[in-house]
Amino acid sequence: MSKRQNWAVIASFLLFLFGFAAASLFKPDTAVSESENRDLAQMPDLNLQDVLSGAFSSAYETYLSDQFVFRDRWIGVKTSAERAMGKQEVNDVYFAADGYLIEKHSGEFDTEQANRNIDSLAAFIKAQSRRMGGEHVKALIAPNALAVLEDKLPPFADGNREKQYLQKLKAALPEGSYVDVYEALAEHKDEYIYYRTDHHWTTLGAWYAYRLWAGETALQPASESAYRREVLSTDFHGTVQAKVNIAVPGDTLEAWLPREETACQVIFNRDAAAARESLYDESYLDTRDKYAVFFGGNQPLTEIKTQADNGRRLLVIKDSYANCFVPFAVGDFQEIAMVDMRYFNERLSEYMEEKGFTDLLFLYNASGFAGDVSLAKLAL
C-alpha cells in the first residue's frame, strides 16, 4: 500500500470517528427512548463535588451512551456481530429457546436498595394488616421470566438469585400476606404466559396470578370461559427487543373481555371531566408502546367505579404488571384505585383515609420492586 493510500485510510478513520463524535455533540438531546420506553440520560450538571467524587464522569458516560447518534442502529449492529460470534447473551439479554429474549437482571437483587425495599414493604403490610385485617391485605410480587422459564435459558444462565430474593421477601412479610404465584406460573411455563420480546407477563399469565390471589382473598373469580379473548395486536415488540434491536417476530397482545360486560367509569388523576368508560386505550395499538393499551399506560392515580354494590374498595399499589391484571378484578369490587408510587405525589396515608379502602393489593414484578427508589413513600 502506498503512503498516499495509508494517509487516505487514516483520514477516513479519523473522519468516521470524529464525525460521529461531532454529530453526537451537536445533535439535540432526546428525552425519551420510544423503543425502550424509558427516559434517556441528560447532560449532568457540572460541579466540583461531583467531579472530585467521580459522579460526574460516571453520569457523563451514561449520557454519551444514551445520546449517541444513530444509537438504536448501532445497538442492532453490535447485537448482530456478537450473535455471529456465538454469544447467547448480549446487553444483559439472553437469547433463550423458542424465540424468547429474557432479561438477565444482573445484580438487581443484591443491592442495598433491594433490601431496603423489603423492609419498607414489610413495615407497610404489617401496618395495613392491623388496620384492614390480614385477610384483606396481600402482596403479590410476580417473578420475571428469568425465574419461571428456566428451561428456556442458555446453560450458563441462572434465575436462582431472583427466587432467593423472593423467598427472603416472603419471610419478611406477615404470615399469609404474600401471594406466592411462582408455582402457579411454573405449572404453566409451556404456555404463553410471558411475552417473548417484552418484560411483562401476558394477559394469560396475569389471569393465573389473579385466580390464585382471588382464592386467597375470599373472592369467587369467574371461570376462564366467562371471558372472550380478543387479539389486539400480533406485532407487539417490547422493551427487551429494544435492548438488542434486531428483527424478531412480534408478540400477540390480548384483552380478556367479560362475556357479560358491566359498565364502569375510569378516572385518571382526579380529572372527572375526562372520565372514560373503557379500561383500554386502543390508540396505543398504533404506537411502539402497545402494552399501554391497558389503561393508557402508567398513571399516577387511576380510579375505577363499577356497578358492584358490595361495599368493598380495593387499593392497588402497583407497577405496570398490574395494568393487565386489574381488569379481572373489576367485577369484584365497588371501587378500585391504582396508585403508582413512582409518579404519585400525594401523601398515601391521607389518600387512603379519604377513600376508606377495605382491601389492599401490592402488585409489582420482582425486578421492578427490587430497584424502585420510590417505596420509601409508603411510610408517608
Give the separation between CA 365 and CA 301, rounded to whole angstroms: 19
Torsion of the alpha carbons at 165, 169, 170 and 174, rounded to the nearest 10: 170
Query: In degrees rounded to 5, what are phi and psi of residue 275?
Result: -60, 145
Q: What cell numbers appear for 368 in the block?
A: 421492578
Q: What cell numbers appear for 339 in the block?
A: 396508585
Strand 101-103 and strand 93-95: pairing? antiparallel
User: What is the pLDDT at residue 67?
Assistant: 55
Give the separation between CA 248 and CA 235, rounded to whole angstroms: 10
Give the separation between CA 158 and CA 165, rounded to whole angstroms: 13
Cβ atoms of residues 279 and 295 within 8 Å: yes
Per-residue pLDDT of the chain (380 residues; tens, 9 = 90+): 556 655 654 554 455 445 445 545 555 766 555 545 556 667 777 777 777 777 667 665 665 565 555 555 656 556 666 766 668 788 899 999 999 999 999 899 999 999 999 999 999 999 999 999 999 999 999 999 999 999 999 998 888 999 999 999 999 999 999 999 999 999 999 999 999 999 999 999 999 999 999 999 999 988 999 999 999 999 999 999 999 988 899 999 999 999 988 889 999 999 999 899 999 999 999 999 999 999 999 999 999 999 988 999 999 999 999 999 999 999 999 999 999 999 999 999 999 999 999 999 999 999 999 999 999 999 98
Cβ atoms of residues 143 and 205 within 8 Å: no
- In degrees, rounded to 5, the angle at the alpha carbon of residue 226 between the alpha carbons of residues 220 and 229 is 125
Cβ atoms of residues 174 and 180 within 8 Å: no
Find, among 260, 342, 254, 253, the residue nearest to 301 by Cα. 342
Tell me the C-alpha to C-alpha distance, in Å, between residue 135 and each of 2, 101, 126, 232.
82, 37, 12, 35
Q: What cell numbers appear for 1 in the block?
A: 500500500
pTM of the model: 0.82
User: What is the pLDDT at residue 17?
Assistant: 47
Reduce the secondary structure of the chain to three states and give it as a string: CCHHHHHHHHHHHHHHHHHHHHHHHHCCCCCEECCCCEECCCCCCCCHHHHHHCHHHHHHHHHHHHHCCCHHHHHHHHHHHHHHCCCCEECCEEECHHHCEEECCCCCCCCHHHHHHHHHHHHHHHHHHHHHCHHHEEEEEECCHHHHCHHHCCCCCCCHHHHHHHHHHHHHCCCCCECCCHHHHHCCCCCCCECCCCCCECHHHHHHHHHHHHHCCCCCCCCHHHEEEEEEEEEECCHHHHHHCCCCCCEEEEEEEECCCCCCEEEECCCHHHCECCCECHHHHHCCCHHHHECCCCCCEEEEECCCCCCCEEEEEECHHHHHCHHHHHHHCCEEEEECCCCCCCCHHHHHHHHCCCEEEEEEEHHHHHHCCCHHHHHC
Model pLDDT for residues 289-344, shown as the tens digit of each residue: 999 999 999 999 999 999 988 999 999 999 999 999 999 999 999 999 999 999 99
Cβ atoms of residues 217 and 136 within 8 Å: yes
Domain locations in the chain as residue ranges: 101-379
Question: Cβ–Cβ contacts within 10 Å for residue 208, how many?
Answer: 19
